[in-house]
Structure 1
């Protein structure tokens, strides 16, 4: 186990939890979308506009295959776990935590986000259906399901940090 992957639907808290988890575990934190933007020099909406969603999904798989080999925390994009290959790579190279948040909480966080192309072109109903369609793949890809409803960021981070420490033999 080298990497810790945070998976889940957009707006479930992967970035917020990843940053805090990095501090708690002293492991570096990377946001997959931020890294892809850095490597390409394009924003996520620009990548979708210029190359389409399928090419963006290929970039995510390339990231998982080639990203540096170090102990770290990676907040993945919301669609990463939809590809079987991605789930296999993550499960083989690290621990995978699915952050399970209720859709109503997610909608509150993402509904006005201009940097999410899927949100901009979809209705609430479409996004909820996508959420429901993706959930089985998140569950299938994860080693741990982390319930976020009615839990503070600190409680969630403490739980994940405990599991990391336990599996690394530090507890």
Structure 2
């Protein structure tokens, strides 16, 4: 196993779980959005404003194609798994974990977040429609689906670590 990809809708906990999983498994962690921000030298809202969403999605794809660290955790952007090329690439180069949160939980986390351009330009109903549409892409891209509802960050992280270790030991046998 090479990489561990965390996928899911914005606000599903990818970054929070990624950092904790990195600590627990003692492997490097990368946040795709933050890596793109570093590369571009500007915030995500600014990238969207200046270059548009299609450009940002291309940056995500390039990141997946060119990222070289082998044994690490990557939290992806919420739209990454919608692109079939990205899903195929992630499935071929690592283990894909889908953090499956309810829209109610997600809405509580993202409704006031000014760093999410899509949240700022969409109604709750539009976001819920997007959530529903994307969910099927997440499910088909994932090797493992992790339901987050009613679980603490610690419980989710420990379950994810258990799944990673289980698969890692199967690879060795």
Q: With structure 2 as the length reference, what TM-score do the two structures score?
A: 0.97
Matches within 5 A, 1:1-171: 1-169=1-169
How many angstroms apart in 2 are the aligned matches of 1:152 and 1:113?
A: 21
How many angstroms apart in 2 are the aligned matches of 1:43 and 1:149?
A: 30
Q: Please state whether the residue corresponding to 1:169 is helix, strand or coil.
A: helix
Offset at 1:166? 1.2
Instruction: Note the alpha carbon deviations across 1:51-110, whole angstroms, 9 max, x for none.
Output: 100010000000000012320000000000000000000000000000000000000000
- In structure 1, stretches of 5+ residues that fail to align are none
Where in structure 1 do 4 or more consecutive aligned residues deviate above 2 Å? Answer: none
Count of residues in Structure 1 that have an aligned counterpart in Structure 2? 171
How many angstroms apart in 1 are the aligned matches of 2:27 and 2:51?
A: 33
Offset at 1:123? 0.2
How many angstroms apart in 1 are the aligned matches of 2:140 and 2:71?
A: 23
How many angstroms apart in 2 are the aligned matches of 1:69 and 1:33?
A: 16
How many angstroms apart in 2 are the aligned matches of 1:133 and 1:4?
A: 24
Instruction: Note the alpha carbon deviations across 1:1-31, whole angstroms, 9 max, x for none.
Output: 2100000000000000000000000011100
- In structure 2, stretches of 5+ residues that fail to align are none
